[in-house]
Amino acid sequence: MKDNVVLDLSELPPHGLGTASQSWWGTLAFMLIEGTGFALSIVVYLYLMSLAPRWPLDAGPPDLLPGTTLTALLLASLVPNIFLARWARKQDLLKVRVGLIVMSLLGIAPLILRAFEFPAMHIKWDQNAYGSIVWVMLGLHTTHILTDLIETLVLTCLMFSRHGDNPRRYGDVSDNTMYWNFVVATWLPMYACLYWVPRI
Amino acid sequence: MTPKDNREIRDTAFDAAELERRLAATWTTPPGLLGALSTVDHKIIGRRYITTAFVFLALGGLLSLLMRLQLAQPEARFIGPDRYNQIFTTHGTNMMFLFAVPVMQAMAIYLVPLMVGTRNIAFPRLNAFSYWMYLAGGLLLWIAFVLDTGPDVGWFAYVPLAGPQYAAGKRADIWAQMITFTEVSALAVAVEIVVTVFKQRAPGMSLDRIPLFVWSMLVTSFLVILAMPAIMIASTSLILDRLVGTHFFNPAEGGDALLWQHLFWFFGHPEVYIIFLPAVGMVSTIVATFTRRPVFGYLGMVMALIATGVLAFGLWVHHMFVAGLPRLGESFFTASSMAIAVPAGLQIFCWLATMWAGKPIFKTPLLFVIGFIVIFVIGGLTGVMVASVPFDTQVHDTYFVVAHFHYVLVGGAVFPLLGAIYYWFPKLTGRMLNETTGRWVFGLIFTGFNLTFFPMHILGLRGMPRRIYTYQPEMPWSGLNMFISLSAIVLAAGFLLFFIDAIRSARAGATASANPWGATTLEWATPSPPPSYNFAKLPLVDSLEPIHDDAFLPAAIGLRVDRRELLITSVVEAAPEARESSSGDSIWPLWAALATTVALIWSIFSPWAVVWGSIPVAIALIGWFWPKDVPEDDS
């Protein structure tokens, strides 16, 4: 087929940022997948609760301290995360490096708190269905903190390497901050479900 | 323009021949084993996917012939009950998870980037990874089957039968973990397709100019994204129940067996539409080409696709009508099950109107479409019948249901798929399938299918339960069963002829021109088979039918040729936004898939596999994403 040139694209930027980047949309699609997973885990929790004669089954309500501290920490982590996103947009290498180190630490801290959250539930996964769903919900969310932490650590190394100062990397950092917002946002309904629904 | 930009090599600098040579040097997969294992070309991976899926179709077909051999006469002794359980479970699991869903996505992997006028699928390495995961999942199921460890709990693996108490050994775990493999791969492909359709359409291909097949794959991909997490949660919970003693499905400790059915069918019903909607897109494409006019009611067709996609999530309970659920809930799901017949009916009438108004050319692809309409309408009618609770209660778990879902799935998906293979074979291979053989294939499959499956309705009404490995001579079933088994030979002969024709034509069929059918969508604007870079110059779209009679395609220039570069456009208008690199070949997706395979299979046996097994996975992923000093990794 013959062609007839009518459009010149050479002045377009060589890399798209934000909604003009594929990885932004890809991250969004994966968030939709995982968000559906989180939502379904809450549905399973409520379904099992609706069947149980009393809830929680054979356990008191979970201790509030570790989970609430973790929630507060996650919410607080949004502040440096938003700054990091801004610095990545401005392609400020030095600030992005600092921001990534901070966010790496803020990825490790919740994992430490999480270690206290499991025992605060007063139930093991193999005692009854309540224990099973509680551990799976905590486990599911912990996996997300962990994977985001690993991604943040790799990005931190990358930004200190010679590959760092590049619009594509800043785009990666910016997608990573978006994903962390998602990890925090999904925790809030999980927190309400795990800690406050048993107290209703 | 900065000095750096001036050093970049653009397509504007060359004449046509030199441009094609340069593009080929940048985009073509190198020959040899390493090249084959590292390729990220959507066409090579798409062909691989399609071929693999058809191999699984043939294997699953062999299993069904074994079942027909056993059921041909009462009290037969060819296959024992244990093996029979494995055979029907593997047949169903294989056909749903290893054939139907992957083959539809595979067609999209090959066709969607061509139809939207881009040079590769979004996230090409993820695409390579998804294929390896799919292959590993298929091998897991089939190797287990050969080793007499095939799953034997039915393709929907109901608990408590599939739970720790009644399914000792690892058979049910093989089923559950095979799910993980195929869902990971299906979800990955869904994300690729969504992003390809949203962001990589040719300039000017606004939402109302997207080909209907692409629309159907977009809606399907969203169904995959929203439905498949349910089955992953279900199968993971099942493995946990079986491996570490959780109690999700154990009523003695607060769990619930029906929870499994809810989770499974919340996925399982949309699954039917995940298979059906791509077929709808194929039918629309074929109908338009062979009636020489656009499909009647484009907007209505798109709305029907979306409506079907939404309604698909409101039907799952109709698989559970005999489970003893509250009456009001059942009425709701009866209503919604009947409601979905509305968009389905709308599409059927649009196709009929198109054919009525056009000048149909009855080539093999259109024959399969007509076969589809006949068979799918029958399947749809029995679907409306089983949507009614009293009727469903009567025929539940009988051969009536077996007949119904084969009419819907084979009629609704396999017929359009075979039509699509005849239609797009020239684009896939550069050669034509044989038209005369094609008519024989259609005749044998259409006749064989109806003779095989229609009598199953009657068997079901006469009370023959599904999944029984034999029956007594006193039962009024033996004559029909013998008839069905003999008819199955006709059906199998049709498929055998199809495979022979496909293999023969791929090697020595008539050479295909770029657009042998005179079609109007973009994949026909490039040679058959397309070059590695798909389009030497990116096409521009100014209507729903971008290929006009005047044979001149408006094109865009200005892309780099020294790196794999494609164009990003806006979601609604498809206005150009940026040039973007597309990842080059890489062996890392294969390593990542191998590491994931080890971790997943190991985790059937020990929970610690999740901990230790994820370390190699993480290493492989870091190797995958770490920049490699190639022009694609910078900007």
DSSP letters for B111-142: HHHHHHT-SS-SSHHHHHHHHHHHHHHHHHHH
Using CA atoms in the order B587, B588, B591, B592, what is the torsion angle rounded to 10 degrees? -150
Model pLDDT, residue B526 = 94
Interface test with A, best of B187, B197, B569, B577 (most A CBs within 10 A): B577
Residue with tokens 């309409």: B373
> What integer pLDDT is reported at residue B335 of this predicted model?
85
Cα B626 from Cα B576, distance rounded (Å): 28
Q: Would you say B575 and B207 are in contact if contact means Cβ atoms under 8 Å apart?
A: no
When pLDDT is averaged across residues A36-63 and rounded to a whole number, the result is 95
Cα gap B293→B351, rounded to integer Å: 11
Nearest chain B Cα to A137, which residue? B233
What is A21-199's CATH topology? Four Helix Bundle (Hemerythrin (Met), subunit A) (1.20.120)
B38-255+580-635 has which fold?
Cytochrome C Oxidase; Chain A (1.20.210)
Instruction: Point out the residue among B554, B565, B618 whose CB comes nearest to the CB of A4.
Output: B554
Number of CB pairs < 8 Å for A and B? 207
Q: Which residues are paired to B556 by β-bridges?
A: A7, B538
Q: Which residues of A touch B633 (CB under 8 A)?
A: 163, 168
Q: What does the pLDDT read at residue B549? A: 64
Predicted pLDDT of residue A72: 98
- Band of pLDDT at residue A62, cut at 50, 70 and 90: very high
User: What is the DSSP-derived secondary structure letter of residue B629?
Assistant: S
Structural domain boundaries in chain A: 21-199
Spell out which residues of chain A touch residue B635, defining contact as CB-CB under 8 Å. Answer: 14-15, 166-168
Instruction: Tell me which residues of chain B have a pLDDT lower than 50.
Output: 1-6
> Which stretches of B395-539 are assigned E, i.e. beta strand?
538-539
The pLDDT value given to residue B579: 93
Q: Do B554 and A158 touch (CB under 8 A)?
A: no
Give residue B327's pLDDT.
76
Q: Is B209 helix (H, G, I), strand (E, B) or coil?
A: helix
The answer to pTM > 0.90 is yes
pLDDT of residue B635: 63
The domain spans of chain B are 38-255+580-635
Which of B233, B244, B537 best tests the A interface by mutation, with the highest count of A CBs <10 A? B233
B248/A15 touch (CB, cutoff 8 Å), yes or no: no
Selected residue of B557, B570, B581 to mutate for chain A interface (largest A Cβ count, 10 A) = B557
Residues of A in contact with B187 (CB under 8 A): 33
CA distance B280 to B301: 9
Contact between B627 and A163 using a beta-carbon 8 Å cutoff: yes
Q: How far is CA B225 from CA B193, B267, B430, in A?
A: 11, 10, 33
Neighbours of A140 (CB within 10 A): 18
Nearest to A14 among B12, B190, B635 (CB): B635
Contact B225 A36 (CB under 8 A): yes
Compute CA distances B319 → B97, B185, B450, B498, whole Å: 19, 26, 24, 34
- Top mean pLDDT of A165-169, A192-196, B384-388 is at A192-196
Chain B positions touching A131 (Cβ under 8 A) are 246-247
DSSP structural state of residue B560: B
What's the one-letter identity of residue A87?
W
Contacts of B199 in chain A (CB under 8 A): 20, 22, 25
The 3-state DSSP class for residue A161 equals coil
Residue A30 banded pLDDT, cuts 50, 70, 90: very high
Taking the C-alpha atoms of B459, B464, B470 and B473 in order, what is their torsion angle to the nearest 10 degrees?
A: -70
Q: What is the spatial distance between Cα B286 and Cα B45, in angstroms, rounded to a whole number?
A: 24
Can you give the pLDDT at residue B551? Answer: 64
**ipTM here:** 0.95
Secondary structure (DSSP) of B393-414: HHHTTBHHHHHHHHIIIIIIII
Q: Quick check: A158 and B626 CB within 8 A?
A: yes
C-alpha to C-alpha distance for B157 and B235, rounded to whole angstroms: 9
Kindly report the nearest CA distance between residue B136 and chain A, in angstroms: 22
Whether the bond into A56 is cis, omega within 30 of 0: yes
**What pLDDT score was predicted for residue A1?**
54
Does the beta-carbon distance from B244 to A125 stay under 8 Å?
A: yes
So what's the pLDDT on residue B547?
Answer: 86
Closest CA to B626 of A27, A25, A161: A161
Rounded Cα–Cα distance for residues A20 and A31 (Å):
18
Distance of residue A56 Cα from the nearest chain B Cα, in angstroms:
10
Cβ–Cβ gap A129/B256 under 8 Å: yes
Give the model's pLDDT for residue B3.
40
